Amino acid sequence: MIRALGSSRFSLWSTVIRREVETEIGGTFDQSFCDILNTRYMGQLRKKRMFTNEIYLTIVRSGILAFISQWGHFNTFFYSWLNNTPEDVGRALLTASGTGITEPTNGLSMIWATANKAADAFAKQGGYLTILPSLVGFLIMFAVGVFIAVALAILVLAKVMMWVLIATAPIFIACLLFAPTRQYGMAWFQQVLMYALMPLFVYVIAAFLITTMDEELKKVAAAATASEIRLSDISAFLLICAAGAFVLFNIQVLAQGIVGGAAAGIGQIARAVGGMTGFAAPAAALTGARSVSGAAGRIGMAARERTHAGMRENIRNASADAMQNRISSNSLPR
């Protein structure tokens, strides 16, 4: 089921989603939207004077807009990598562990099958008056079911959200190219990074738990087959399942923490690259001009304040001198 989510149907679903967002979408991934955006952007550039650095930046932006206009580019460089890398990492970890399990989905299926055997063995020990074995079997199924259901729910959520995010990628990548809309592009990038990390965490955790409980699975399966299963045989198995479910419940928090730090680092790198390549020169010149204008304004206001203070002081001194002269002249005998 999980492998089917990454099939070629994604191209169809992404096109359907994009038709709801942009009604003028053509046969290609987003050719019409990018053509309109590029035409309007170039039209605005004809109306203004450009720095040399802005010419380079315009060429780069036009190249990016041309690149994002085709679905094949996204499928090759973005979606295939984001879709296949998490499972490849989990597969590599399982292969290195030497348990004989090479697929994370096969490991989850084995956990579920072992839980069914254990629950069935406990149920056979129950009866009309002894319901405790049946309750233990239900507890086993519940614990394993929660663990596997949470893992599958996170994988399905990440797949569906990745469909939506990649389907709307041309809009938000174009937003990244311009300062007024860059915040929307960065928010989109953070969501893409988060929903790419979530399947990676699920597969890594699943590979770790499968490797950890491999011996417990064999012990539980052997005891269930011999109909001699006891509660002590499944205690470690249930504990590992509970720990895995707890970690899976917190995967989104872990992904958000990593995405926040990565976004801050990417922003700093982008500013540094802009400074080294000269793309930030017009913005730096504008910032410098604003700083000079602000300093000149502050100097002018200080001079004005000093002038007004001197004028007020002169007026007070003149009034005091006039009053002193009047008192002196009136105090002399006539």
**Residue 61: its pLDDT value, please?**
65
**Residue 180: its pLDDT value, please?**
78
Q: How far, CA to CA in Å, does 132 sit from each of 118, 143, 147, 231? A: 14, 16, 23, 11
- Sequence spans of domains, the chain: 89-280
Lowest mean pLDDT among 46-50, 96-100, 230-234, 322-326: 46-50
Summarised one tens digit per residue, pLDDT across range 200-218 is 888 788 777 777 777 777 7
Query: Under a CB-based contact definition with an 8 Å cutoff, are residues 182 and 150 in contact?
Result: no
- Measure the CA–CA gap between 249 and 133, rounded to whole angstroms: 29
Res 158 pLDDT > 70: yes
Q: What are the structure tokens assigned to 48, written together?
A: 């203004």
Give the phi and the psi of residue 69 in degrees, each rounded to 5. -85, -5
Instruction: Return the closest-CA partner of residue 91 out of 204, 243, 224.
Output: 204
Summarised one tens digit per residue, pLDDT across range 129-149 is 667 777 777 888 888 888 888
Q: What are the structure tokens assigned to 285, written together?
A: 């010149």
**Which residue type is seen at 247?**
V
Identify the residue whose tokens are 């990649």.
166
- Measure the CA–CA gap between 38 and 131, rounded to whole angstroms: 71
Summarised one tens digit per residue, pLDDT across range 16-69 is 555 554 444 444 445 555 555 556 555 555 555 555 555 556 666 666 666 666
Average pLDDT, the chain: 68
Higher-scoring residue by pLDDT: 206, 15:
206
Higher-scoring residue by pLDDT: 313, 160:
160
* pLDDT tier for residue 87 given thresholds of 50, 70 and 90: confident
Higher-scoring residue by pLDDT: 281, 235:
235
Find all residues with CB under 8 Å of 275, minimum gap 6, and list them. Answer: 284
**Residue 123: its pLDDT value, please?**
74
**Which residue type is seen at 267?**
G
Res 6 pLDDT > 60: no
Higher-scoring residue by pLDDT: 290, 39:
39
Q: How far, CA to CA in Å, does 29 sit from each of 26, 79, 170? A: 7, 13, 9
**Residue 25: its pLDDT value, please?**
42
**Residue 27: its pLDDT value, please?**
44
Res 262 pLDDT > 70: no
**Residue 5: its pLDDT value, please?**
46
Query: Under a CB-based contact definition with an 8 Å cutoff, are residues 205 and 248 in contact?
Result: yes
Query: Under a CB-based contact definition with an 8 Å cutoff, are residues 94 and 210 in contact?
Result: yes
Res 287 pLDDT > 70: no
- Measure the CA–CA gap between 165 and 193, rounded to whole angstroms: 10
Lowest mean pLDDT among 43-47, 153-157, 238-242: 43-47
